[in-house]
Every structure is written in structure tokens, then in C-alpha cells.
Chain A
């Protein structure tokens, strides 16, 4: 329950209501819970692979809040669990992909975390870094072509992906044609084992915007409210015909790249624990507590709910069948086409 006292007013909520603030916290907690569940299942031997997104919760909750559900288009990458949840993907759908069940959006064909949902405007993507970014540009072009004002494309990627040629080609085209696109780089400072200073000479990615003649901004990705305000501004600009924006949200990758990665081979525990002090989830809990937007009881309730949801989704998804072997051949083309007809 919100309390209207001096503490509550000290939170710069940038126009967000209590409900919206609570929604963001919920999103972050759910993301963390589902994230962990992946690793738990992996350690249980139930799924061969898990990939975490710890450290990105605030960034993704804030961005999701700015996203216009049912209108905007999202072109995420595989670390965007929170964003996917934030635009409407359910824990059940997430677990289906983790368990690689037939009912998964991708029929169990892709790695987990490769979300897609046509009805939510969540574009299908592959594991190939930056390959999805020209697709986002094409989607933005189609929005303009159809005269769909008030609609934008939010495309995300990690810091490492900005080295790919297709990232540059996409930024170039989007800026030439002033497309309604927001390029949100989630800079967690690591591309598997490659730190920023090996990835680029200019560590401030947002500065490249000048090279494309588009606005650019860097913000604190550990702050969901600031994230919301920044992404919202950029999305509004895009929706109203103001063209693309390059945003760089600073955060940190607390975990290894995936279950196939051992991050102690390239960084120290101390470094990670030092960054853990900025863990956005407990920080936002505290901020909302202090602002009187939530109580301790609220948070406990929230965590319980989130766990229950996660458990339900886990159990329901686990009970679903795998794809049949014959499913391997489906949906290659429309209709049955053999190489030799």
C-alpha cells in the first residue's frame, strides 16, 4: 500500500504509477526466479542447457514498461527473458522452450530463450548475433510503409554484438531512412569471455550514434525507472516519426554466459562480487520499500506468487510431450516439398 509521506515523494518515479512500479518489480522477481529455475533443472539433469540473465532485470523491466503492448514490435536476443515476460510472454511458454516441448512456439527446435510470439509482436530470431537486427530494420520499414503511426520497433542486443557488420549496416539504413526504431544495447560488459576493452576501442557505445546522425544516450541499466524514462523517450520519438535512437543501458552479467561457460577462467570472483553490490533486484526492492510503494509483506507475497507461478509453469510444461521424430520434417516450406520433386 502506498503511503503518502515524505519518503514516498523522494522517489523520482518519472510519471509511473504505484501499480506500474510494482509491475516492474514483479517482472524483475519473476525473471530472476525463472532464470534460476533453468539452472536448477540443468543441475537436476532435466535439461541440457540453461542461459541466465541476472543483472539485466532492471533494464528489461524498464524497457518492457515503455513498450506498447499489442502495438510495438520487439526484436530481442536470447538474454531478454525479462523483456519477453514484460511484453506478455507467460512463464509457461518460457518453460516450454526450456523443456523443448512440442507445444513450444518453436516446436522444441531452438535453444531455450529463443522467444517468439507473433501475436505479441515478438519476432523470431536465431542464435546468430546481430542477424536479427536487419530484420528489425525491415520490420520498422514495413511499419512506415503501411503508414502505421504510433508504432515502433524495439531491438536489443549485447555489447559484443555491436562489433558485427550487420549491426553497423542496420544502424546505417535505419538512420538514412529515419525509421521508427530504438536500438537498445544491453551493455553487461562481457561477450562470453571478451571484456569491453578487447571488443572496442571506444567503450561508450552510445557515442557511435553521432556517426549515424541519430540521437544516442547512455543510462544506468540497473535503475528500472531511469531505464523506463530513457527507453520511453526514444520509443515516443520513433512512434512520432522522429527516427531512430541508439540507447546504451549499462548493467553487468553476474553469471557466466551459459551453462556451457565457466567464467572463472576469465574473471575473478572478487570482480563479480564487487558488481553484485549493484544487483538491481534487491536495490529496487529497497527503493520501493523506502518510497512506501510496497511493504515487506508485499514483497514476501510477491516472491511467493512468483515462485508459485514458476512451479506451476514448470510442472505443466514438464508434463507436455516432446516433439515426435516425424516433427523434424514439418514446417520447412508451406506444403510438402522434396529436394527432388
Chain B
């Protein structure tokens, strides 16, 4: 469960409801907020996230754009430069590549190239990740392509309470934020979400399970499966600590290092391809800062280095890591 104190009231939402509710509240309270993307208006987004928003807020604020990802982001940048708070949606992360120029070359650099005279308070939301039989073009993870870029912020919450808190933080943020939503967790993951407006700071991870013998770092859907694997190990008497990164750029150094100092062993689990994935950066940081705490090599359990998971079930299954595989990896490292 997210470590968010339940205040006045709270209710149970799944991740897609959490996104929807947060967007709704933002539209209601801040006139500067605009949502633009493909099928966000009349259709209400292909996951129904913005269903009926256009009826309440009007087509001028909920814009059904042409099919043109580069300009969805580019036009949003222009809006942001002129003081609005646009939330651009890329319908599936797999479609984001045409917008790469605008995200990396423009949004990330607006404040920097103008030495602060112009800024880009932009949110780009997109569903990513697999496990829904989405095949090669509806299943990819993209964080590794973008987390390299100074000037961007990237978050990938796994729990509904974090979805709301981080989306609010992204909308409030004066700089461009890439908000990643794992599509398989949309309806699968339910959790308590506090009422009212709150933000969770970008750049803070969350220890979702404390433990003594191994640190597991993950994000997105795999946090939930890692938790399941960790619980299995607990019933075997093995104590595993699980950290939900929540934030990919910036990433939480302190939480990870504190944990590794305690457990001396680190397993990074992510769905994205292994080579050059964010596990590589975490490994380097830990090796740089906590080498003498390590009692075993750092291990990464990641997606295979193929472009994406295939449509056929055995191919998707092979690409993705199961809780049982995660448990095996945990056991192995604990035994080292």
C-alpha cells in the first residue's frame, strides 16, 4: 500500500480512476489546464479516462487533435510557453517517437536555452507497458529513451494514491514532466486514495515493504509482482525489502542507498529491456556510492533485449517476468 497518511477521508480507486479524478479536479480548479490528444474528447480517451470531460469543460479545453504526435506535443509547448498548463496525451507510449524532437529538443530545453526567460510547464501523459496482449506496438516501455535527457522529469507511479499525488505534482511543476501510466495496472491495481488535493514530491521513492536480507528496486506493474514474490519469500522466512521508485528522473538516491547499506544486496527488476535500461544507471550509482556495503554483485532482472513482446501468448509470457521468476531471482541473491 502506498505510504500516504489517510487524512480526512479516502476512497478505494483503481489506477485509471485515480488518473481520471485527478485530471477532473485539475480542470475544475485551474482554468489554465487544457487536455489535448487523440480521441480525448468525444471518445473520452481509449481507456475512458476523460469520458464526458468535453461535455463539462468544452471542446476548447478538451481538444481532439489530428493524428500528429509531434504537433500534439509542439502545440502544447507553445501553450505552455504562453502561460497555459497543457496536459498532452500520447495515446500509447509506442506512438511517442514522432514527438521525440519536440520533447527532447524543445520542451526539455526551453528554459535552458532562453536562460530562464521562457519556461515549459507541460505534462505529457501516456500509457506504457505490456501484459495486455498489446503486441509490438502497444506494449513498450519508453522511460530509458527519455530519462537520459536533462531538463525533463519522468514519473511512473504504481499505486493509485501515488498516481494522484504525482500527477498533481506534475501539473503543478513549472517544467516538463513525462507521466507514465502502466496500462496493465489501470484496472488491476486498486488502493486507497485520499480525498482532496495533495502532491507527492517528484524524486522520492517509497519503501513499500521493509526487509533485512535483500533490496529489490522496481517501478510500475512489476512493483506489485515483486511484492507478491517478496511475500512468498517471507513465508519461507526470508526478509526482502521492496522499493517502489515512483520517480525515474530524478531518482531517489537516499532511499536506495539506505536500503542497500542495510541489506547489502540489490536486485533491480524492470519490464524494460535490460541493456541501457534504468537498472544500469541504478547499478552504477550504487557501485559508485555503496561499493563497500555490497556483499554480492548487483543483479538486474529485466526485459529481454528484443524490440517488444509479441502478440502470441508464449511470446508475451517469455518477455515478461512472473512473480515466480522474481522470487527465484530473490532467493538466488539472498543465498549468495
Contacts and interface: CB of A to CB of B under 8 A. Distances in A.
A170 B252 CA distance: 38
A79 interface: no
Interface in B145-177: 150-151, 153, 174-175
B258 interface: no
Given A128-B106, A138-B80, A141-B79, A340 B116 contact: no
B113 interface: yes
A340 B71 contact: no
Contacts of B77: 134-135, 138
Interface centre among A137, A144, A333, A338 (most CB of B within 10 A): A333
B66 A173 contact: yes
Contacts, number: 156
Contacts of B83: 142
A107 B115 contact: yes
Contacts of A110: 113
B30 interface: no
Interface stretch (A48-56, A118-126, A306-314): A118-126
Interface centre among B66, B78, B102 (most CB of A within 10 A): B78
A245 B61 CA distance: 24
Interface residues of A, number: 46
A73 interface: yes
A332 B71 contact: no
Contacts of A217: none
Interface string A233-267: 00000000000000000000000000000000000
A116 B73 CA distance: 21
B66 A176 contact: yes
Contacts of B117: 105-106, 116-118, 124
A289 to B, nearest CB: 41
A138 B79 contact: yes
Given A124-B81, A142-B82, A137 B71 contact: yes
Interface string A162-187: 00011001101100100000000000
16 contacts: A106-B113, A138-B78, A138-B82, A139-B79, A143-B82, A166-B102, A172-B68, A173-B65, A173-B71, A173-B75, A176-B66, A331-B111, A331-B112, A334-B174, A339-B251, A340-B253
Q: Which 10 A-B pairs have the closest CB atoms?
A: A138-B78, A134-B74, A107-B115, A169-B71, A135-B78, A341-B203, A124-B114, A331-B116, A138-B75, A169-B68
